[in-house]
Structure 1
Amino acid sequence: MPDVVADGLRVLFCGINPGLMTAATGHHFARPGNRFWPVLHRSGFTPRRLDPSEQHRLPALGLGITNVVARATARADELTAEEYREGGRLLAEKAARLRPGWLAVAGVTAYRAAFGERGASVGPQQRTVGGVRVWVLPNPSGLNAHWSLDAMAAAYAELRTAAGPPPC
């Protein structure tokens, strides 16, 4: 699954891993029940709700997308601890190379597994990854019933405020 990236992004969003629909379509967060695209808009990151097929528009807004683990699965719980650790190592290299303002990991469980941060919670983190500040966000999967759409949008909006305005 190719990343949607550029140098100097305000925020590099990082999903856990591609779902099967994402892998089939080539568009990040493509499953209809995934709330990433609605939340991105409701939180103020995008001027309108983008369709996954419009992911190429994100870098112009200073945004990008990657994943902790590259392997596509039906569910994230199919990933191994080793895949998470290796994904974290590769993500640190990517962050160091791209130098976004923030690395936003969408899923506290994935962040904990990839970086060994057992006590991490949603929000800004003390540590950096590849020299880049980290913000952990709620996982936008439709399976994450602990977060309502409004609460998720509010959490993403906090990051948007910290990340500053989009490029002119």
Structure 2
Amino acid sequence: MPDVIGPGLRVLFSGINPSLYSAATGHHFARPGNRFWPALHRSGFTERQLHPSEQLELLSSGLGITNVVARATARADELSPAELVEGGASLAARVAEFKPRYLAVLGVTAYRAAFARPRAAIGPQPDEVGGAPVWVLPNPSGLNAHYQIADLAEAFHELRAAAGR
């Protein structure tokens, strides 16, 4: 999966890893039922709801997308702890290179494992990754029943307010 990334972004969103569907289409968060794109729009990050095929339009808004781990799986729990740690190091290097204002990791469990932060919770983190402040957001996968779209949009909105325009 190619990253949607460039220097000086307001927010670099990092999924855990691509779904098999996303890998097949070449578009991030492409699986039907994934709530990333609706939450991004409802939170005010985008003026309209983008389709995954329009992912490159994010760059003009100062937004980007990458993943902690590049390997596609049916479910994130198929990743090993070692893959998450290795992916965390790789993500930190990308953040250090591109210098986004914020890194937003979409999935608290993956963030805990990738960065050895067992007590991390949703929201802003006390630590930086690659020199950028970190904000952990709920995983927008349709498999995450703990968060409905309104809850996701509110969590995204809090980050948008912190990151500014």
For structure 2, the 5+ residue unaligned runs are: none
Structure 2 CA distance, aligned partners of 1:100 and 1:13?
10
Structure 2 CA distance, aligned partners of 1:59 and 1:38?
17
Say whether residues 1:81 and 2:85 are aligned partners. no
TM-score normalized by the length of structure 2: 0.99
Say whether residues 1:24 and 2:24 are aligned partners. yes
How do residues 67-146 of structure 1 correspond to structure 2 at under 5 angstroms?
Answer: 67-146=67-146
Moved over 4 A (4+): none
**How many residue pairs were aligned?**
165
Deviations 1:6-34 (A, max 9, x none): 10000000000000010000000000110
Residue 122 of structure 1 aligns to which amino acid in structure 2? I
Structure 2 CA distance, aligned partners of 1:105 and 1:99?
15
For residue 148 of structure 1, report the CA deviation from its aligned partner: 1.1
Structure 2 CA distance, aligned partners of 1:151 and 1:66?
23
For structure 1, the 5+ residue unaligned runs are: none
- Identity value in percent: 67
Q: Alignment partner of 2:38: what SS?
A: helix
For residue 47 of structure 1, report the CA deviation from its aligned partner: 0.2
Please tell me the root mean square deviation across aligned C-alpha atoms, in Å.
0.4
**1:9 match:** 9
